[in-house]
Structure 1
């Protein structure tokens, strides 16, 4: 049985006034239609209720939580933007002969992509809930996750793995970015299927590296390899926190994303060469 007080209040009012179950369902789910499919899948539970799907809605983020969400990624946005010139120059200086273009290009793509992820998240969480543009920014926020994942793969694929494995993996990542972007931009369904597709693309992209773990192990130094793995674990662990409903759970997720990005930043900028 649902413990959603608003749900049962609407249901009881509908019973008293003779409102049909269809209209009742529309009233009870009015606010739910504005929620993104990723949030729906991770933070909502659905059970059958007289032929309809009754959703256990998530607890809304408080003003204080949204401030924390903005700060945790805002700081990282400033950091990554400031480190972009340094990272590009360092990778150029340390690049071996024949890699003076590939290395700084891959590193620059990586830093730019994680910057876009952090800045879009910061802007989204800083926006007023009443803003009509917030839903658009929410979609952009999730799209930038695709770019951040592929951007992280780019220098690893081109400068560490290399060869057919590296190029093939890099191409596959950016093809999934295009597919994921189109899906998030055009798919308006809030169904569980929409959620499954979104999260499946994230996880597929994030852990596609397991296909060439032996190649990566042989090509990367030990520090780089385990920092890459640690970053992936941080990102994946963040999804678990995102699914929970304790106070400031979203900010904890942001912290884990920060740690994951820092692991990859250190691996790529300082230990790749």
Structure 2
């Protein structure tokens, strides 16, 4: 098992070929998400009740957290193995938390009880399991983490007819389009492909671009549900 203490500092070498734009997309996305998140919280407070406002606040916190942690991790050239592994754990763990956070407003505003509580329980339990995996095994294979991200992200398929019945087809289309982008980005991340401009915009930047666009689509879907 890999832990910060178990990683020999002498064997750790920062990636000398890190593209210049590594983490830049998520740096800007974190700032945009902070303002967008504040907007959706205010919108929920005006248009809905306390529970919906809490759900939107949780969603906003997770999206800002995802992009901010990612930007911090990728923009800095970590000099020690301990710091690098800790930030890697945080970065990968936030993906699971963000997935569950994104589900939360849809469960509370677009799904009826008790289905919404079942879905919430499944995705948050999955998020806890994913975070536990990343903390206990930060060096786990890429395919394992990506598979879990995708599996957790597509739980919504099981309740999609109910979701459409309580919201709209447009919401489902936006969720599906965002899900496809997240999934494609995850697969490309696992493959480390394509790598268009390795010195400036590489395969990881392609992945980050997919996540930023997908998050935007899901944000629009949150507003459609909120304003319905």
Superposition TM-score tier, normalisation by shorter sequence = 0.7 to 0.9
Cα deviation, residue 77, structure 1: 0.5
The structure with the largest alpha-carbon Rg is 1
Query: Equivalent of 1:204, from 124, 127, 151?
Result: 151
Q: Does 1:267 align with 2:221?
A: yes
Cα deviation, residue 62, structure 1: 2.7
Q: Which residue in the other structure is 2:4 paired with? A: none
Q: Which residue in the other structure is 1:8 paired with? A: none
The 3-state SS of whatever aligns with 2:150 is helix
Distance of 2:177 and 2:144 partners within structure 1: 25
Higher relative contact order (CA 8 A, sep 6+): 2
Query: Equivalent of 1:122, from 71, 74, 82?
Result: 71
Alpha-carbon displacement from aligned partner over 1:185-204 (angstroms, at most 9, x marks no partner): 112564x5xx4542332122
TM-score, normalised with respect to structure 2: 0.84
Q: 1:200 to 1:240 in 2, by over 3 A?
A: closer
TM-score, normalised with respect to structure 1: 0.71
Distance of 1:172 and 1:61 partners within structure 2: 40
Q: Which residue in the other structure is 2:92 paired with? A: 142
Query: Equivalent of 1:161, from 90, 99, 111?
Result: 111
Distance of 1:34 and 1:221 partners within structure 2: 51
Q: Does 1:240 align with 2:193?
A: no
Distance of 2:108 and 2:154 partners within structure 1: 17
Distance of 1:154 and 1:143 partners within structure 2: 17
Cα deviation, residue 127, structure 1: 1.7
RMSD between aligned alpha carbons?
Answer: 2.3
Q: Which residue in the other structure is 2:58 paired with? A: 109
1:146 touches 1:202 (CA, 8 Å); kept in 2? yes
- Matched residue pairs, number? 210
Query: Equivalent of 2:21, from 68, 73, 79?
Result: 68
Cα deviation, residue 240, structure 1: 2.9
Greater CA deviation, 107-116 or 85-94? 85-94
1:238 touches 1:252 (CA, 8 Å); kept in 2? yes
Query: Equivalent of 1:94, from 47, 53, 64?
Result: 47
2:30 touches 2:64 (CA, 8 Å); kept in 1? yes
Cα deviation, residue 177, structure 1: 1.2
Q: Which residue in the other structure is 1:217 paired with? A: 164
Distance of 1:70 and 1:121 partners within structure 2: 7
